[in-house]
Amino acid sequence: MSYVLTNDQGILKFVINRPEKRNAINFEVMDGLERAVEIVMNSSIRYLVISGEGDKSFCSGGDLSEFHSLKTEEEAYSMLSRMADILYRIATLPIPVIALVNGSAVGGGCEIATACDYRIVSSEAKCGFIQGSLGITSGWGGGTYLIEKFSHTDRMLKFLSEATPLDSKELLQIGWASDVYSNDHWGAFTQFIQRMESVDPSVHRAYKEIAIRKWQQSELRERIEKEVRRCAILWESEVHEQAVQNFLSKKK
Ligand SMILES: CC[C@H](C(=O)O)C(=O)SCCNC(=O)CCNC(=O)[C@H](O)C(C)(C)COP(=O)(O)OP(=O)(O)OC[C@H]1O[C@@H](n2cnc3c(N)ncnc32)[C@H](O)[C@@H]1OP(=O)(O)O
């Protein structure tokens, strides 16, 4: 199975389980994320944690070998919009959502982490929106979340436009990393929520509603839709086709 989903005493843990592909996202992982959202919406889950198997990678974005078959704008849009919808449903879950960034998060992997409320980042991890190096933009909503959630728009536009992963110190400095840890990542999660645990989950839900109301009033979902469409248009470009071909043939 491409993911492992466990309910640990009200903490729903979703681990992308494709370490042989640096935890790249394929349609099966998307199925799993949709299942996780349904569980949260229909039970008394207190936290959702998303992480990756192993210590090398959180997620390397879309599976280039699987998604390389998508050639046209509409073929790309179909995949992009499905994942953008999943990430919006995750972002607007009525509970705290934590990305436990156990390793590199690049491309769509960085988008997933950005859609979460918090990012607990390994000191060894490098994270970045490398989509630009493939001739496309973020396409799952990550760019819109970045501009929406963080101050210093100049730093965020630079983060996107350089298409270069940052190290954990830089990620903390620009405010993207909520916390940085060394060694045991689940221990880091437990420590991160320690104080929250003394507050009733109903309060956490009430505070999350404030953020969700702001996003609804500012038409966040509609703005994400424009990002998705723009990425789909760029997907058709020769630059993108060649960049993916180079990666798959390992010609850097
Ligand atoms: C809108 C989102 C958009 C989308 O696709 O929808 C994107 O996410 S675009 C960005 C897509 N992702 C990438 O371009 C990242 C590609 N991968 C890398 O840059 C590196 O693999 C990295 C930095 C994640 C890890 O580097 P490392 O040296 O540790 O590992 P390798 O490069 O040797 O990779 C090991 C193994 O995994 C395969 N792999 C890695 N990433 C992907 C991927 N995204 N899709 C498919 N396969 C991937 C890689 O080919 C190697 O396979 P092997 O058979 O061992 O050669």
Helical axes 73-91 vs 108-115, angle rounded to 10°: 30
What pTM, to 2 d.p., does this model score?
A: 0.97
Amino acid 141 reads: G
Domains of the chain are: 3-198 (3.90.226.10)
Phi-psi region of 138 (alpha: psi -120 to 50; beta: other; left: phi over 0): beta
**Straight-line distance from the first to the last Cα atom of the chain, in angstroms, rounded to the nearest whole number:** 30
Q: Whose CA is nearest to atom 43 of ligand 1?
A: 63
pLDDT tens string, the chain, 252 residues long: the values are 999 999 999 999 999 999 999 999 999 999 999 999 999 999 999 999 999 999 999 999 999 999 999 999 999 999 999 999 999 999 999 999 999 999 999 999 999 999 999 999 999 999 999 999 999 999 999 999 999 999 899 999 999 999 999 999 999 999 999 999 998 999 999 999 999 999 999 999 999 999 999 999 999 999 999 999 999 999 999 999 999 999 989 855
> Taking CB atoms and a 6 Å cutoff, what residues make up the pocket around ligand 1?
21-22, 24, 56-57, 60-65, 67, 104, 106-108, 130-131, 134, 138-140, 231, 247
Please report the atom of ligand 1 found closest to the CA of residue 142: 1
Establish whether this prediction's ipTM goes over 0.90.
yes
Half-sphere exposure of 104 (CA within 13 A, CB side): 18
- Which residues are paired to 181 by β-bridges? 122
Tokens of 175: 């405010």
